[in-house]
Chain A
Amino acid sequence: MQGFQIALLVSLLTLVSPSFAALKVFACEPEWAALSKELGGDRVEVYSATSARQDVHRIQARPSLIARVRNADLVVCSGAELEAGWLPLLLRRAANARVQPGQVGHFMAAEQVERLDIPSSLDRAEGDVHAAGNPHVHLDPQRLLSIAHALGERLQRLDSANAGAYQSALQDFEARWSAAMRQWRQRAAPLAQKTVVVHHKDWRYLLDWLQMQAVASLEPKPGLPPSASHLARLKAQMAKQPAAMILRAAYQEARPSLWLSEQSGIPALELPYTVGGSERADDLFGLFDDTIDRLLLVIAK
């Protein structure tokens, strides 16, 4: 009986104590939730606003998200206008001074690194273009490491009592990540110079890192769904100059890429895109392991 009481006490303590001290992190996307966990360990309690099955351009500022931002110590998002439709509204409605723009608790990952495709002129006739450049930066492991450094520093500033622990977590992550990157590089070598058709421009940084090249998008303009006439044009283009594969993310509709694949004989491939997008992509390491293996499998055929 006494043993039971002690066990109950211990389990209650373990339930209560970590959450008592933990930094509450609100991550807009699963990749930043995963990175926060890597760098914060059990000193952070991470909530991801979205999953790999959701198109983050189209999220609504729903009540549950407002409630989570209300209590957050740190908001970690992509920024660069990716969440333009919902994050500003969440921040206003959540009445949380700690996470407003300019505060220590406000961390925009894409704004920590140099971005590609910053448009020289802005015209919505070109689709939903981002003035701050392409925000899908997490698929470049080098940029991700830069962001890890900035985020690690941010955690140290936020929770200075545990600065040493965040510092060593960052070093540990960097060592593991750099080793993994070398290995990915080697394995991915056969992918260099391969051409692909993408669904949306969310593969920009991955392709740049792997020295692959996107020759067409299934979306006629960024943000517009693939249309029949556009797909027909792509079919003609592929007949002349076939790409190696057609890429889509787990959250994107499969039909357009499957149609083009059927018509052109070019393999269509679903990639996890972010953590949680496939069974193997259960953390950032798994995300890249799985992505590279899937790409290699296609060109090996």
Chain B
Amino acid sequence: MKKITFPGAVFTLTCACLSVSAAQAADNSINPAISLILQGQYADYKNDPEAYELPGFMLGGEAGLAQAGFGLGHGELVMSANIDDGFFGRMTLALADHEGETEVELEEAYIETLGLGGGLTLRAGRYLSAIGYLNTQHTHAWDFIDAPLIYRGLFGNQLIDDGIQLRWLAPTDLFLQVGIELGRGERFPAGGAADDGKGSSAVFVKLGGDMGDSHSWQLGLSRWSAEVSGRQSGGHDHGGGAAEIPTFTGDSDISALDVVWKWAPEGNYARRNLKLQFEYFKRDEAGDVELENSGPPIESTTYQGEQEGWYLQAVYQFQPQWRVGLRYDRLDSSNTGSDPDVLAEAGLDNEGHKPERSSFMIDYARSEFSLLRLQFNRDESYEQADNQVYLQYVMSLGAHGAHQF
């Protein structure tokens, strides 16, 4: 081979590239990024999943267990795009089957600013509240098929609200973010959109950073408060007549601590990595609980509630595509009121039981877009321990998902 020199070619290429660059800038896709999530599972229980309860907690939202046998999980349709140079928008539609009927739920629909300046971001619409750590992640991004017990007990799996969120990111190399949310307070575990549709609020602080090449961490503190007006919990009937629905009105405050620590050799997540996650929540409530459709007269009680719980989980990717995970959940509650019978009807009597659950999962991701998971739970949510087995798939079609920390 002869000696080849290229000084001339370099300049020609340089000129060519400038026109390429101009074409690229205009080639910004105008259509929103669309992704579709398909989920489904096979569930096997020792106990009747319909009989599920979590003594000491008024369940609502999506707190129940998946039906036994074959079933569909949430299908999700996500669309997002930069609206212009100032705003970003995103919408998530969840499609779920409830007792044979397909329901469409608007899970997220928000806009947010892309740089107000000074590290500020303002978001408005419906969004996953920034309380805790797992709450801002969609169900398809969870490491286990089901929510931690404390999320099930307090939020009905996930806290979603309509309102505005303002966050500020400090101009430091250490990640420091503080934020506030003002919400409508209509959705569980708030209720009634009190205070003229400004019934809930939250504050959060997050700190994070790296330790060397291999370790990353994040620490969060958050607090959520709501003026609750008529929060309904799952009802049950007593043979004939309308179901009695426990309903809470009063003040509710939740404090949360979350810690996440991740390790990957030299920061290379593709091969092996470990994720440790811990969250603790404590809720204080004060007000009244009444049983709708009871009586007359309507049965009611004063209610002072204290519920808390935590979970600790570890997920280890031991080779590309394969991960194993362990999780342990523990809850406790102490609720008092003027009429213990009504409290018990409302599910607020913990019957001297401290719910706990141990879970193991193994999953296989053929690519970033598909996942198959097998999970076992030893669930002692209530007195009768349950053995639960799940086989799940989570598939994502379309736009590349975000690698959220």
Contact = CB atoms under 8 A, between A and B. Distances in A.
A95 B10 contact: no
A289 interface: no
A186 to B, nearest CB: 6
A55 B21 contact: no
A86 B403 contact: yes
Interface string A236-278: 0000000000000001010000000000000000000000000
A43 to B, nearest CB: 20
Nearest to B86: A97
A55 B175 contact: no
A66 B267 contact: no
A106 to B, nearest CB: 10
Interface stretch (A29-37, A142-150, A158-166, A293-301): A142-150
Contacts of B20: 111-114
Nearest to A150: B21
A225 B208 contact: no
B283 to A, nearest CB: 27
A273 B6 CA distance: 23
Interface string B163-193: 0000101111111100000000000000000
B5 interface: yes
A145 B172 contact: no
Given A61-B404, A95-B120, A182 B171 contact: no
B210 A100 contact: no
Contact of A251 (B121, B216, B268): B268
Contact of A225 (B18, B115, B268, B320): B320
Interface string B347-376: 000000000000000000011110000000
A64 B369 contact: no
A119 to B, nearest CB: 15
B182 to A, nearest CB: 19
B13 A143 contact: yes
Contacts of B266: 51, 53-54
A67 B400 contact: no
B32 interface: no
A96 interface: yes
B401 A224 contact: no
B28 A101 contact: yes
B277 interface: no
Interface string A93-136: 11111101111000010011110000000001001100000000
B294 interface: no
Contacts of B10: 142, 145, 178, 181
Contacts of B172: 67
Given A112-B20, A189-B1, A253-B271, A59 B403 contact: yes
A232 interface: no
Contacts of A157: none
Contacts of A127: 367
A112 B4 CA distance: 25
B368 A225 contact: no
A202 to B, nearest CB: 13
What 4 A-B pairs have minimum CB-CB distances, sorted nearest first? A63-B208, A97-B115, A63-B175, A55-B270
Given A92-B114, A113-B20, A192-B1, 15 more contacts: A55-B270, A60-B216, A60-B269, A62-B210, A63-B216, A64-B175, A64-B209, A67-B174, A86-B403, A95-B169, A112-B17, A112-B24, A146-B16, A178-B7, A251-B270
27 contacts: A51-B213, A51-B267, A57-B270, A58-B269, A58-B270, A61-B405, A62-B218, A62-B262, A63-B207, A63-B209, A64-B173, A67-B209, A70-B171, A85-B400, A89-B403, A95-B114, A95-B116, A102-B25, A103-B85, A108-B24, A142-B9, A145-B13, A178-B10, A185-B3, A192-B1, A221-B367, A225-B321
Interface of B: 1-7, 9-10, 13-14, 16-18, 20-21, 24-25, 28, 82, 85, 88, 112-117, 119-121, 167, 169-176, 206-210, 213, 216-218, 262, 266-271, 320-321, 366-369, 400-405
